[in-house]
Every structure is written in structure tokens, then in C-alpha cells.
């Protein structure tokens, strides 16, 4: 007999990945900068990020299914070789990070969580989606982002199938 806690516990994305045998490879594609959008606060800085090319893989009925996806991570996602002399917050520490810091690859649960959120656009009109994310419905940039989310949802459905996309969307968010 299950306890009330066991019955209401949501599946995690990591459990979903294990249950369905999903694996991922991430290939580093470099550090990039995205300029400020038109109309952004004049004080805002360009966004710097690490670009990764991710390939998700799973088996279904003896076939290997693949999904390729770009994934962006902020530049704070690094692993640094420990320094024995540089104290955090000092110029020496910043120089050490710049020299020895290596981008930390994304994990499959983070990538699937992002794709799951993007795929929700397939269930909404542009106007509803824009309202949920505080975009102006007259914005061409917002419409471009909406259509990119729709495309992510289509790719995810082709990779997992609609039933598994729904299961993924019921997982506990990260």
C-alpha cells in the first residue's frame, strides 16, 4: 500500500530520462555574445553565453531516434581548476578563472526541461503565449520567438511522441 506522499510525488526529469533510456552528447561550439534587443534598457549589457550542440538519443522498437538541438548556457557555468593562491573576488582569481575555467556541459535533464517549456507553445495561440510571457502581441521579435518554440515542440514530439511529451510536461520542473 502506498503512502499519501508516494502517491502525490511527481516524477523527476532524471527519472523520466532513466525510464525511457534517453542519453545525450553535448559538443561545445564556443562562447558567443547576443546584442541587446531594440527597445531594451540602455544600461543592459549584451548576453554572453556558451553555445552547445546537443544530441539526444533513445531507442524505440529497435530503432535509434535522435534529436539535435542548440542549447545556450550563461558564462557562469564553468568548472575551474582549483587555485592554491588566488582568493575569490580578487583580480588574481578573475585571471585564474579566465585562464583555467572550462565550460560545464549541459545535462540532459536541463535540456529536456527547457524543451518541455518551449513545447507548451504548441498548445497556445500566439496572443495567449505572448500574454503569458509578457510579450507585446505587435512585436515581430516575440512572434519569431513563439515560432521558434513551436518548432522546438515539433522536434520534441517527433523525438518522443506526443504521449511522452505529455509525460515529460507532468514531471517536476527543475
Rounded distance, CA 118 to CA 152, Å? 6
So what's the pLDDT on residue 65?
96
Averaged pLDDT for residues 52-63: 96
As given in the structure block, the three cell numbers for residue 106 are 549541459
So what's the pLDDT on residue 37?
66
Rounded distance, CA 146 to CA 24, Å? 25
So what's the pLDDT on residue 41?
65
Distances (CA, A) of 55 to 104, 136, 144: 16, 33, 24
* pTM of this structure: 0.81
So what's the pLDDT on residue 22?
98
pLDDT in tens, 81-124: 776 677 877 888 777 777 777 889 999 999 999 999 999 999 99
Asked whether the beta carbons of 158 and 63 are under 8 A apart, the reply is: no
So what's the pLDDT on residue 38?
59
Q: How many percent of the chain have pLDDT more than 90?
A: 64
Amino acid at each position: 500500500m502506498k503512502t499519501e506522499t508516494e502517491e502525490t510525488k511527481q516524477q523527476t526529469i532524471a527519472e523520466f530520462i532513466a525510464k525511457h533510456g534517453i542519453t545525450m552528447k553535448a559538443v561545445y561550439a564556443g562562447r558567443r555574445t547576443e546584442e541587446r534587443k531594440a527597445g531594451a534598457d540602455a544600461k543592459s549589457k549584451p548576453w554572453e553565453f556558451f553555445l552547445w550542440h546537443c544530441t539526444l538519443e533513445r531507442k524505440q522498437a529497435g530503432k535509434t531516434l535522435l534529436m539535435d538541438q542548440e542549447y545556450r548556457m550563461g558564462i557562469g557555468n564553468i568548472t575551474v581548476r582549483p587555485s592554491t593562491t588566488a582568493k575569490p573576488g580578487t583580480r588574481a582569481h578573475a585571471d585564474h578563472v579566465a585562464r583555467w575555467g572550462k565550460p560545464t556541459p549541459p545535462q540532459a535533464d536541463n535540456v529536456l526541461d527547457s524543451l518541455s517549456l518551449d513545447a507548451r507553445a504548441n498548445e497556445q495561440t500566439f496572443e495567449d503565449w505572448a500574454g503569458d510571457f509578457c510579450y507585446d502581441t505587435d512585436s515581430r521579435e516575440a512572434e519569431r520567438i513563439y515560432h521558434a518554440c513551436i518548432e522546438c515542440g515539433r522536434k520534441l514530439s517527433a523525438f518522443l511522441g506526443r504521449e511522452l511529451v505529455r509525460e515529460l510536461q507532468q514531471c517536476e520542473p527543475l
